Amino acid sequence: MSKLSGRADLQKWAPLLVLVALVVFFAVLNPNFLSVRNFARISISATAPLMVALGVTFVIIMGSIDLSMEGAVAVCAVVFAWVFLALGGSLAGPGWLAVPLCLLVGAVYGAVNGAVHVGLRIPSFMASLSMGFVGIGLSLLMTGGDRIRVEDPTFRALLTERYFGFPLMVHVALLVLLVAWFIQSQTAIGRNFYAVGGGEELAHASGLDVRRVRIAGFTIAGVFYAFGALFAVAQIGIAETATGNNFMFASITSVVVGGTALWGGSGGVWNTLIGVLIVNVINNGMVVMGLPRYIQDGVLGLLVIIAVVLSTDRRSLSLVK
């Protein structure tokens, strides 16, 4: 029994151990890696992916998958920038209204995504992938292929203002992370995600409206994608269709590497935080140690496999699909 719990403990802490090992490894190769300024750089590049990954974490806990994030982020970013500029282009003025609107757009997008999946009984993989394409097309239609520049110094303070060595956006992101944790552990809907992911028939038999829980999960995910869009625009100062690029692989990888199982029912937001940090530490560290680009992709792929092997208990699974 003690042996079993020892193994379970190891699996629980494996992602954190992997993260620490990576940090030590890169620090030995280049001492510059271990500086507050570099940690700030890693955290800046991790902020937007963390938001998107938190969103998809809830969906994955339910045992579904959401691949619509690239379209959702693009739509949210473009709507935000467009309304923000239309309202005067300053966070200090009426432009702040664009922020709640952006979150609302994310929620609606997620709700439609969930409704398509649940209502039309299309597997979440296919429904969300298609909704992602719809989003890319929609944002392209809105921008006509142009980029919208957001240069308001108050908004960009998210990147340029630093407290304790870290930009404002990192602090805000930590607050959003706490909200995600609150949803996961302190609310009924958060516990219902685990119930659905752990055994849908059982949850259904216990009187849970599984369809509503699923739609709620996708809606909440959409709100987090909107946060990701806001941070991505704050980081680069540009909103465009390409704002959503690269988020799909990065976020799903992060969630899985953090130890949240793709078959649902386990993991959580802290796992996702560790996962996002692992992926970004690897990306940063490989450039810092001077690996050529074509090797970097391969190394990242291998590390993902190793991390998943270490951090998930696959013995209880009769079937891997």
Partner 1 sequence: MSFIKNFIEQETLNRRNFLLASALGLGGAAAASLARPSIARASIADPTIAWSYRDRTNPYWNAIASGGEAFVESLGKPKSALVQLINEGSSEKSLSDVKALLGKTDGRLALAIDANDSPNGRPVVEAVAAKGAYVSTIWNKTDDLHPWDFGDNYVSHMTWSDVGPSEQTATILFKAMGGKGAIVGLGGIASNNPAIERRHGLDNALKNYPDIKLLDYQAADWDTQKANAIMASYLTRFGDQITGVFCANDTMAYGVIEALRAEGLAGQIPIVAYDGNAQAVDLVLAGDLLATVSTNPYWGGGVTAALAYYAAIGAFKPSQEPREHREFYGPTILITKAEAEDFKKKYIQSTPSYNWKDFWGPSKGQIMY
Binding-site ranges for partner 1 (CB under 8 A): 30, 32-33, 35, 37-38, 41-42, 44-45, 140, 144-147, 149, 159-160, 167, 232, 235-238, 240-242, 245-246, 283-290, 292-294
Gap between the Cα atoms of 245 and 269, Å rounded: 23
Alpha-carbon distance values, 255 to 51, 54, 205, 267 (Å): 11, 8, 29, 9
User: CB of 238: closest distance to partner 1 in angstroms?
Assistant: 6
Which residues have C-beta within 8 Å of that of residue 172, sequence separation ≥ 6? 158, 231
Q: At what angle do helices 168-186 and 36-61 cross, to 10 degrees?
A: 30
Min separation Cβ 287 and partner 1, Å: 3
**159, 169 contact by CB (below 8 A):** yes
Is the Cβ of residue 196 or residue 288 nearer to partner 1 in the bound state? 288
36 token code pair: 């507050």
**Minimal distance, residue 6 CB to partner 1, in Å:** 37
**Of residues 14 and 44, the one with the C-beta less far from partner 1:** 44
- Given the complex with partner 1, which of 52 and 195 has the nearer CB atom? 52
Cβ of residue 246: shortest distance to partner 1, in angstroms?
Answer: 6
Which residues, including other chains, have CB under 8 Å from residue 144's CB and lie 6 or more apart? none
DSSP assignment of 279-297 equals HHHHHHHHHHTT--HHHHH
Nearer to partner 1, 159 or 274 (CB): 159
Of the pair 42, 196, the CB lying nearest partner 1 is at 42
Question: What does each C-alpha distance from 140 to 145, 222, 230, 240, 241 come to in angstroms?
Answer: 5, 19, 18, 8, 6
Nearest residue to 193 (alpha-carbon basis) of 277, 109, 260? 260
CB of 243 to partner 1, least distance (A): 8
CB of 133 to partner 1, least distance (A): 11
Cβ 75 to partner 1, closest distance in Å? 13
Give helix 168-186 / helix 153-160 axis angle, nearest 10°.
Answer: 80
User: What is the spatial distance between Cα 281 and Cα 261, in angstroms, rounded to a whole number?
Assistant: 21
Minimum CB distance to partner 1 smaller for 5 or for 32: 32
Of 156 and 214, CB closest to partner 1: 156
